[in-house]
A and B are shown apart, each in its own frame.
Chain A
Amino acid sequence: MLKIENLHATVADKPILKGLSLSINAGEIHAIMGPNGAGKSTLSYVLGGRPGYEVTEGSATFDGQDLLDMDPHERAAAGLFLGFQYPVEIPGVSNVQFLRESLNAQRKARGQEPLSGGDFLKLAREKAGLLRMDMDMLKRPVNVGFSGGEKKRNEMVQMGILDPKLAILDETDSGLDIDALRVVGDGINAIMRRPDKAVLLITHYQRLLDYVQPDFVHVLAAGRIVKSGGPELALELEREGYAEIAA
């Protein structure tokens, strides 16, 4: 589904990714772990098409299409979802309005009929329930006044509503307390653990992986994947630290 080959990328002319290769198939959950500054967030932003993140070499394809050639909204319509490490607050724009317009823009791009207001609210209610988020919060301006945990939960509600093929979740576990971590973990499983979907989890810690068990774990250090393995690699990292494993 996602094939990254020898990816090099710079931010403000500073090389961050230095030859990263990764392949993710439908039905798989991959975790990328790594120390601060390894390039984890840069990878998520490069795949999400954030301006300012320049690819200097290599390729990334999504379902055979050149991902790097697509605008951010085209990537979304193709089925890519980026869960932000720091979800953005947008005063004056309600969650439901924003999500309904986003979903319908995606549907339009795919040649589907727009969802009616009633059908959308039904869908939103279902997904909010899954993440135990109050519908009132969905009517409030996007992320404004939300706690760190509520913002991450809102990201997952958005993911549920937009129903992507591939979710790249950048430190979705940070800022979550233990109960919220379980709710979010269960949410990811309910929404994304399907034979036709895939997830790339970017995280510092093992703890989210207790709830969302990965099929593959990769260690990212200095802009490259230096080690790959099964779920046991995450436990090993937790025990031994990155310095030991990445060396």
Chain B
Amino acid sequence: MTIATLPTRRDEAWRYSDIDAVTAAWPLPAPESIIVPAGGKFARAIVQDAGDIRQIELVLGKGAVAHLHVLNIGGAYGRIELAVTLHEGADFRFGAAQIGGGEQNLEIVTTVTHAEPGATSRQVVRSVLGGTATGTYLGKVAVARDAQQTDSEQDVKAMLLDRSATANAKPELEIFADDVKCAHGCAIGELDAMALYYLQSRGLPPAEAKKILLQAFVAGVFDGAEDEERLQALALAKLGELV
């Protein structure tokens, strides 16, 4: 992940980035390194609310389990970048929401490497974007040649509140083993007009109706997070600003 030279938009992982903001923050600090030993357990929730570029390298030893939850909401440019390496039988769960309005540019970039057999990874990412905001998810799953019985899943959805907002989503698979299960689903849409009308017909003002639908859209991402309530509350407050 460590890069020596300032990235440009020609670099795939920085293609939609705010290069001016990256330049201003350059040089980036070394990525945070987290190593979960064999059989270990790790859980963390990250709230990016100040326009940071956060890079994390996570290595899961044999049979280790990690639950990572991310709420990416703050600053003009906010980027969370993960490089995860899974050893035999490790289990990685990732739940993320990025919610942006105005001119915000928010990114989640993940590379999950299944280096050895029998590891599982589950990524659920929800983006809600209004104004002229941009939200990007670039997610690469790499499966090494002998990483048989890999089970990986990417579930990526984005909701655009305005026609001027942009969502980029790129699940990417690079598979060198032949006995693997790698699922990925990706959808970008807008709020269902009939559902909105139905809620309003029962007395909910338009902003409340939108908020309740968006809350449902991001719900589930933070299931099982250690401070689930705080994450939900922060997400809801941010959604309230957008509707």
Contacts and interface: CB of A to CB of B under 8 A. Distances in A.
Interface of A: 48-51, 71-73, 75-77, 82, 84, 87-88, 90-93, 97-99, 101-103, 105-106, 109, 141, 158, 162
Nearest to A161: B202
A88 B198 CA distance: 7
Contacts of A49: 201
Given A50-B197, A88-B195, A93 B206 contact: no
Q: Is the interface of A mostly helix, strand, loop or mixed?
A: helix
B19 interface: no
B194 interface: yes
Q: Is the interface of B mostly helix, strand, loop or mixed?
A: helix
A187 to B, nearest CB: 17
Contact of B202 (A50, A91, A98, A109): A98
B201, B208, B209, B217: residue with the most chain A Cβ atoms closer than 10 Å: B201
Nearest to A102: B202
B205 A105 contact: yes
A46 to B, nearest CB: 13
18 contacts: A48-B201, A51-B197, A73-B204, A84-B198, A88-B192, A90-B198, A93-B215, A97-B212, A98-B204, A98-B212, A101-B204, A101-B208, A102-B199, A105-B204, A106-B203, A109-B203, A141-B216, A162-B202
B208 A105 contact: yes
B203 A90 contact: no
A71 B193 CA distance: 15
B8 interface: no
A135 B45 CA distance: 35
B220 interface: yes
A93 B201 contact: no
Contacts of B192: 88
B45 to A, nearest CB: 21
The 3 closest A-B pairs by CB, nearest first: A92-B216, A76-B203, A106-B203
A116 B204 CA distance: 17
Contacts of B216: 90-93, 141
B213 A73 contact: no
Nearest to B216: A92
Interface of B: 192-195, 197-206, 208-209, 212-213, 215-217, 219-220
B203 A73 contact: yes
B200 A73 contact: yes
Given A101-B208, A109-B203, 5 more contacts: A48-B201, A50-B201, A71-B206, A82-B201, A101-B204
Nearest to A72: B200
B223 to A, nearest CB: 12
B195 A102 contact: no
A227 B195 CA distance: 35
Nearest to A88: B198
Contacts of B212: 93, 97-98, 101
A15 B181 CA distance: 54
Nearest to B217: A92
Contacts of B205: 71, 73, 105
B197 A77 contact: no
B70 to A, nearest CB: 20
B204 A92 contact: no
A145 to B, nearest CB: 15
A148 B111 CA distance: 45
A161 to B, nearest CB: 9
Nearest to A142: B198
B205 to A, nearest CB: 5
